[in-house]
Structure 1
Amino acid sequence: MKAAVYYGPNKLEIADVPEPQPGPGTVKVKVGFNGICGTDLHEYYAGPIFVPTEPHPLTGRELPLTMGHEFAGTILEVGAGVTGYVPGDRVAIEPIYRCGRCAPCRAGTYNVCQQIGFHGLMSDGGMAEYTIVPVNMLHRLPDNVSLELGALVEPMAVAYHAAALGDVGPGDTAIIFGAGPIGIGLWFALQGMGLESVYVAEPSSTRRTAIEALGAHTLDPTQVDVSAFVTDVTDGRGADAAFDAAGVKSAIEAATASVGARRPTISVAIYEKPLTVPLLNLVMNESRLQGSLCYTSTDFEAVIALMAQGVYDTTGWVTTVRIDDVINEGFEALHAGRKMKVLVDPSDDM
């Protein structure tokens, strides 16, 4: 079968590898679509970062690996002991490996497991025609949720988890910094939570245009003082929550300056460089800065339910490519900013 195998920086090969077979407690999934994540880009251009160079404690796997942790597909076979799923079931995959023993796992917050691993980063993943998945990673898709949308459940769950940490609801005001896929996911999640006053700050005209087409109210932070704008539209109260999905110093500074007293700034970005956090903004406002990592099954199910209700729309920001074109039309196009989100179709019949 075809698979995108990662060997190290700038070395990703579309290889013919043996077709895997399910073992006890696992299923074989025919992959419908697999998204390319920002983490995948970091691995390709600067890795290995998260991909282990010695056996991972939970999976036993190391470089080289088949990439891909954002995917959905159809179950072809089930291994011994699997109940509740049968061949033909359409599923989205929650790709977290967790130990089940550490304090976070015992508390139910396995998204911060002390030995956390990811299917497609610490094991062979979904950027292939078939992959083997533990049954506890499966989420059944409703009939009206396509496999394309199913492949977006994982990144949208990242955004939903962050939105939920913002503790906002109908009547509240939120400001999002960054209109990439996670910023878009935050906008969808907040809409699904009933917020009408959501603003998105994004310097890229291409990204602003894409999210505006979905119905968002955008701000160009190079032309508008975002914190002053938020203060004005909230009659001085400030935002009920701010979200940093940009990962740059200016975004954190503007976010903490925009949020209201005792309200949170949620960071759901990856920071490539150390940042100086504007603590004075937090102290004088008694506001807080909180990190957000991944998701749990609750977030996955919430996103799937909203997708079934028609909240999510892929128009204008999602592109599909063949697996043979994954480097030029996927990784390089995303790295150059020519595309926003790319789904890889690993089949031969696209």
Structure 2
Amino acid sequence: MRAVVCQRAELEVVDLPEPAPARGQVRLEVLRCGICGSDLHARHGIDEWAEMAARTGYDRFGRSADAIVFGHEFSGSVAEYGPGGQKKLPTGTPVVAVPLVRGAQGIDAVGLSAHAPGAYAEQLIVQESMMMPVPNGLAPDVAALTEPMAVAWHAVRRGEVSKRDVAIVIGCGPVGLGVILCLKASGVKTVVASDFSAGRRALATACGADVVIDPAVGSPYEGGAKRGHITDAPAAFELAVGTREKLERLPVGWWHLWRLGEKLGGMPKRPVIFECVGVPGMIASIVDDAPLFSRVVVVGVCVGPDRFTPAMAINKEIDLRFVLAYSPLEYHDTLHMLAEGKLDPRPLMTGTVGLDGVDAAFTALGDPETHAKVLIDPRSSATTPS
């Protein structure tokens, strides 16, 4: 079969043996595969990722010297079951799969390990237990985006955003755009999006953002006071003293009313901010500029060291959360939201290439004004994203 191999940061189309599924595995014919931002970073920075993964106990992450087949966001069709399979789905059934596969040495991350080649190929191996049928005749290109949309859905769930909260998305690449889509799908009424790129701001609008900001000319936190956000320390002091004085005038013990107000979520209001850039300095920038009591969900992957001032986060009582991937249930639910039309990621899909066009697609994705999500169709002859 034909596949794209990355080795020492070079991408090359090669012929590889047809993969044979082991026990509990399934061989798929790849229909579509998305090029993820993590693939772009891994091309040159996979050794740094491998060192970090080893510190968490996973020492089978790919290395630059390995011949890695990227591709962890994909759709395919069932081609062959390995021994002992349940075989619930007939051959030819369109499917997607959580990109984890069990091998002799344990479970590997598909597309990020030499032990689990990904979907930049005509075929790949998945775990049968992680495989899910594509419902409602969902198109293979949309189905392939189940994985990145599940990342966004997990981030929104971790943010615990209510419909009345203001959600602020910093960075409108594919991850940020997915977060916007999931916020609107969950009913959030006010979504503010911020990006320096005019092209990405346009995509943010297409994905449903209510307010779109160019941070070169404005702040995504502007107008926070009108929304009930506490924007500085004097306002926080006034809230404490003023509220206490007002409650003192009532015939009930002020502490009972204060406690009731907390249970009802009445004070203080705060935005939920999604950091979707993943470069050094972004967390510090958000901590410095965000309103007091903000909840910050870090979705962007910054592999290198970063610095921020804990005392500033303490003074503002910032709630800082980090997210990774999703659960199989979140993956399942995302697939069905796509199939039911609750999530529509088509504005993100800006190009398609064949295997021979992957190198050109990596280059094209470096221009945020042109492309957001490029998909690979292994049977296409396209050599540039179109």
Equivalent in the alignment of 1:7: 7
Give the C-alpha shift of residue 250 in structure 1.
Answer: 5.6
Equivalent in the alignment of 1:310: 341
Give the C-alpha shift of residue 88 in structure 1.
Answer: 2.3
Equivalent in the alignment of 1:111: none
SS of match in other structure, 1:325: helix
Equivalent in the alignment of 1:63: 66
The alpha-carbon distance between structure 1 residues 97 and 169, as it changes in their structure 2 partners (threshold 3 A), is farther
1:95 aligned residue (92, 99, 106): 99
Q: Distance in 1 between matches of 2:275 and 2:140?
A: 29
The alpha-carbon distance between structure 1 residues 273 and 50, as it changes in their structure 2 partners (threshold 3 A), is closer
Length-normalised TM-score, structure 1? 0.85
Instruction: Report if aligned partners of 1:58, 1:97 keep a CA contact under 8 Å in 2.
Output: no
The alpha-carbon distance between structure 1 residues 336 and 170, as it changes in their structure 2 partners (threshold 3 A), is closer
Give the C-alpha shift of residue 258 in structure 1.
Answer: 2.8
SS of match in other structure, 2:224: helix
Equivalent in the alignment of 2:26: 27
The alpha-carbon distance between structure 1 residues 238 and 14, as it changes in their structure 2 partners (threshold 3 A), is farther
SS of match in other structure, 2:306: coil
Of the two, which has the highest radius of gyration?
2
SS of match in other structure, 1:294: coil
Instruction: Report if aligned partners of 1:29, 1:77 keep a CA contact under 8 Å in 2.
Output: yes
Instruction: Report if aligned partners of 1:160, 1:299 keep a CA contact under 8 Å in 2.
Output: yes
Length-normalised TM-score, structure 2? 0.78
The alpha-carbon distance between structure 1 residues 231 and 148, as it changes in their structure 2 partners (threshold 3 A), is farther
Q: Distance in 1 between matches of 2:280 and 2:269?
A: 20
Instruction: Report if aligned partners of 1:51, 1:121 keep a CA contact under 8 Å in 2.
Output: no
Equivalent in the alignment of 2:135: 142
Q: Deviations over 1:43-76 (max 9, x none)?
A: 2234444469x9x766999811222111111111
1:79 aligned residue (69, 78, 82): 82
Instruction: Report if aligned partners of 1:34, 1:151 keep a CA contact under 8 Å in 2.
Output: yes
The alpha-carbon distance between structure 1 residues 278 and 189, as it changes in their structure 2 partners (threshold 3 A), is farther
Root-mean-square deviation (CA, aligned residues, Å) is 2.7
Q: Distance in 1 between matches of 2:82 and 2:128?
A: 9
Give the C-alpha shift of residue 42 in structure 1.
Answer: 1.4
* Aligned-partner residue type, residue 314 of structure 2: V
* Aligned-partner residue type, residue 89 of structure 2: Y
Task: Structure 1 unaligned segments of length 5 or more: list them.
Answer: 100-114
Alignment of 1:266-277 (within 5 A): 266-277=297-308
Equivalent in the alignment of 1:279: 310
The alpha-carbon distance between structure 1 residues 117 and 234, as it changes in their structure 2 partners (threshold 3 A), is farther
Q: Distance in 1 between matches of 2:187 and 2:347?
A: 23
Instruction: Report if aligned partners of 1:43, 1:51 keep a CA contact under 8 Å in 2.
Output: no
SS of match in other structure, 1:228: coil
Tell me, yes or no, if structure 1 residue 201 matches structure 2 residue 194.
yes
Instruction: Report if aligned partners of 1:241, 1:260 keep a CA contact under 8 Å in 2.
Output: no
* Aligned-partner residue type, residue 28 of structure 1: R
Equivalent in the alignment of 2:118: 125
Q: Distance in 2 between matches of 1:255 and 1:116?
A: 36
The alpha-carbon distance between structure 1 residues 194 and 13, as it changes in their structure 2 partners (threshold 3 A), is same
Alignment of 1:153-172 (within 5 A): 153-172=146-165
Task: Structure 2 unaligned segments of length 5 or more: list them.
Answer: 231-267
Give the C-alpha shift of residue 155 in structure 1.
Answer: 1.1
Instruction: Report if aligned partners of 2:47, 2:62 keep a CA contact under 8 Å in 1.
Output: no
Q: Distance in 2 between matches of 1:142 and 1:162?
A: 24
Equivalent in the alignment of 2:227: 233
Give the C-alpha shift of residue 175 in structure 1.
Answer: 0.7
Q: Distance in 2 between matches of 1:242 and 1:206?
A: 21
Instruction: Report if aligned partners of 1:24, 1:79 keep a CA contact under 8 Å in 2.
Output: yes
2:376 aligned residue (322, 325, 344): 344
Q: Deviations over 1:212-266 (max 9, x none)?
A: 12332211111112223334334645543111001245643453343552x5211
1:184 aligned residue (168, 177, 182): 177
